Each structure stands twice: as structure tokens, then as C-alpha cells.
Amino acid sequence: MFRWQSLQPALLGIGVVLAASGCDDLWHKVTGRGLSRGGDQNDEVGAQAPAPNGPKLGALADLAPVFEKPQRESRRIGWLHAGGQVARSNQPVSKQNCPEGWYSIYPRGFVCLGQGATIDLNHPTLSAMSLSPKLNEPLPYPYAQARVTTEVFAPNNEPDDGVHSIARLRPLSTFAVVGSWQALDETDQRQKLALMTQGTFVRVDDVKAAKPPPKRSVQIDGSRYSVPLGFVIGERARLWKLSGEEATPGNTLSSDAILSLGHKTRTLGDAHYSALEDGNWVQQTDIVAIRRRNDWPSFANGNRHWVDVDLQQGTIVLYEGERPTFAALTLAVPKNKAGYTTGATVVLAKYVTDKTLDPKTLDSSHEVYDVPWVVELANGLRLHGAFRQDRHSTVNSPRVELAPEDAQRVWAWVDPQLPAGWHAVTASSDASRRTDVLVR
């Protein structure tokens, strides 16, 4: 554990000094401008791109922008997050409007030293925020939820081993935890504290481990599963035997079962049934079916990656050309069409966690910070992971929620790929390198 005298200036460096403003909304203390709406990655590399094993630059700010060119008015093509490190050029490439110098970073782009970045790898922020996101796990960080209304603390301006309260979180508020510390509060009581990604703290005793919902997805490999298939959604779903005009109930089905469907359907009375490959039947109201498509978008050719987002039945299917490779159920879809359009669109950007989402708008009862595995689409929709336990929900904003493990699968599969050490990246303006998406 670091001494508080070393940790305190480090955390002040990533934005908690804004507590002095008296603002009670943490989001307004840490959010920055949005990402650039595109950028040509071929143009961004340039002749000055450093070697991947070169000297390092570290991020100090909660959001440190990566620019397309060494100019402040240039497009932002990504972000670094506090504690992240990337390979850099040996020397500044320019000092225009950046007294400490612009450094090119790997594999593209430029960062202004002093604008939330340093080349001093002994800086205490890089140690305090050294927990890197796990990009191949269901969640990028450990996540916690507030058990009760809990205070949010920031370090005191004086290096006196103390913290002071700057806000409160409601019960069930969810956030990532990247470290733990001890410090004196305003009543001189020593507190065990959990470190949030914004550089703020909450009491360890006030939080519990957040429990993500289980995945509801299937790898479609043509051996164990192929289309058509069905996700069981009915709590009282069961198998049926059909003989003539009679339906006889069979065994009940697990609520998380995935069924291999046949191609036949039947209607008996008011009930509609789909055949299974094993000769049984299932009521169509008890499943969400993924069937073979009869119509294809123009970009479904060769092995080109694209995503089918069906908001009506709440599914996401990943395709390579005309071959489905993965399907998942959503947790929630938009309640109405405000803020986005349907039809063909593209992936605009993706974030390990999205720092631009207002945590008070994601759930009416509590705050949600560090929303994981966010894929931003050009039509206004965002796909991301969520901790919602109830499925088939609707939300009042243009978002599609998935279980975190399923969201990570989608996030990792779509382009652009995230450069090492980065926290967010925008897509190329080269149409051949973008991931197409069909929203319907």
C-alpha cells in the first residue's frame, strides 16, 4: 500500500480537485467532451508512429484525449484513462499550444504532455491507478454496489492523511473498484476505503460485490448449435407432444435452456407451436427464435463482419457474411424510437467503460458508473453491458443492454480494435474497415 502523502497528489491529479466547486454531481466532475465522430486510421498512423516497445507515456487524467494530429483543434480519435500506459516517441514532435510537448503514441495519434499525461513513470497516479482493465473477461474491473446510502470521499488538499465528503450514492449504485486504502475522515475516524476509477472513495463496509446477470448467448458453430434455435424465456415453459389435434404436456424446461429447432410449426386452438429436432414441440410464446434469414443487407458478403440488432424480439446476432456465429438475448431495449434511427448503420466508437454517460440517467433508482463494453453506433444507439437482473425490460434512452459477458463478446468482435493501453477508440472513415450494423 502506498503512503497517503504519495497517493493524495496522485488522486488530485485525476480530477477530484473539482470537489472545491461545490457541485454534488460526480459525473459533471469527471466527464469530458465526446469522442471524434470518425477518423481515417490510415491517415492517423503517419511516419512518426513510435515502435510498440519504445519508451512509455502514462495517463494522469480520468480522460486523456488522443488527437489525430499534434494540434488542439484536431479530431479526438480516442482516450487514455488514468494509469494507462502507451508507447511514445523519444522526443516531442511539436510544442505548438502544448508547452511540454506533443508526443506521438503507438499505433497512431498524439497526446499533449500536461493535458492529463506524463512521461514520469514514477508518478504516483500511475501506481495508484495501475489496475489495468481485463479486456478478455466478462467485466473489465471488479464491480461493487452500495448496500446503503454512502458518502463519496475525495482527498484533502493538505497532505494530512485525510478525506472529506463530496457527494452521496444511493443504495444499489454500481461502480468499478480499482484499489483500496485507509484514511481519516472529517471526524478523525480511520476508514477503510474502496478506490473508484474517478479517484474518489467509498467506505468498504458500505458496499458489496456486484453480481452481474448470467450470459444468455450461444456460439453458433454448426456442430452443437446451428440455426434455427430458440432461447427459452417462459418461466413455465415445457415440452409438448402433438398427436392429431391433441397437445400433451411433457417435461418442464430450464429458463436458460437453448433449443435446436426444426422447421415445422403448428397451431392448435390459440396455441402456436414450433417443432424441435428431437420430435418434441414447444409453444412459440415460450421462446425467442433465431431463424435463417431470407433477405440479406447489401454488406452481407464474403466473410465481412456485421451485426444484426433486432429490437422487436430483443436479440443480437453476429454474422460473417451470411453465416451467423453468435447470438444473444438483450436485457433491455429502448422504449421508443427517440434519439436513434433504424436501418443500416456502422460502429462509430467503442469504450472499455463509457465516461460520457450520465450515471443518473441509466437507472431511475440509483447511479450506474463505469458502464462496461460500450459500442457506440452512428445511428444514435449504444450497446453495452448492464447489471440489470430482469430481462425483457425497456429503457427511456437509446441504449441496448446486454449481460456483461455477452456485451464483452460483441465489443471484442466489432471493429475498431482497441490499441494496447487505450480506453476508447473511434472507427475508421474507411468503409472497408468499419463494422456494419442492421438495426430493426
pLDDT for res 324: 97
Domains 31-128 and 228-290 share a fold: yes
pLDDT in tens, 66-110: 999 999 999 999 999 999 999 999 999 999 999 999 999 999 999
pLDDT in tens, 130-171: 889 999 999 999 999 999 999 999 988 775 678 999 999 999
CATH no. of 228-290: 2.30.30
pTM above 0.85, yes or no: yes
Instruction: Identify which of 322, 420, 318, 421 has the alpha carbon closest to the alpha carbon of residue 375.
Output: 318
How far is the C-alpha of 320 from the C-alpha of 335, rounded, in Å? 29
For residue 425, name the pLDDT band (cuts at 50, 70, 90).
very high
Specify whether the CB–CB gap between 354 and 333 falls below 8 A: no
State which amino acid sits at residue 203.
Answer: R
Domain extents in the chain: 31-128, 143-209, 228-290, 305-439
How far is the C-alpha of 332 from the C-alpha of 234, rounded, in Å? 17
Instruction: Tell me the fold of 305-439.
Output: L,D-transpeptidase catalytic domain-like (2.40.440)
pLDDT for res 159: 58
CA 21 to chain centroid, in Å, comes to 29
pLDDT, greater one: 194 or 40: 194
The percent of residues in the chain predicted with pLDDT above 70, rounded, is 88
For residue 392, name the pLDDT band (cuts at 50, 70, 90).
confident
pLDDT for res 149: 96
User: CA 386, 391, 396, 397: dihedral to nearest 10 degrees?
Assistant: 40
Least confident of 52-56, 76-80, 352-356: 352-356
Architecture label for domain 31-128? Roll (2.30)
- DSSP of 66-132, one letter per residue? EESSSSTTSPEEEEE-TT-EEEB-SS-SB-TT-TT-EEEBSSS-EEETTSSEES-TT-HHHHHT---
> What number of H helices and E strands is found in the chain?
5, 33
How far is the C-alpha of 97 from the C-alpha of 133, rounded, in Å? 32
Instruction: Identify which of 119, 142, 133 has the alpha carbon closest to the alpha carbon of residue 60.
Output: 119
